[in-house]
Amino acid sequence: MILEHLPGNAYLIDVRTPEEYQDGHVSGAQNIPLDETEEVILTAVPEKADVIIVYCR
């Protein structure tokens, strides 16, 4: 699986609604709904050099 090959500084962000996230999500993913992403991402991912992977449906 691709997650096994990600660097340690990678963040997996699920941008779906909290309800969709609860129905099922990739293990290790953080739920940050799309309409909150820009605001929250700055605190959720502290280092600009970190890898951010965003997914939805």
Set 26, 34, 42, 56: catalytic member: 56
Active site residue 9: no
Q: Residue by residue, what is the 3-state secondary structure of the chain?
A: CHHHHCCCCEEEEECCCHHHHHHCCCCCCEECCHHHHHHHHHHHCCCCCCEEEEECC
Active-site positions? 56
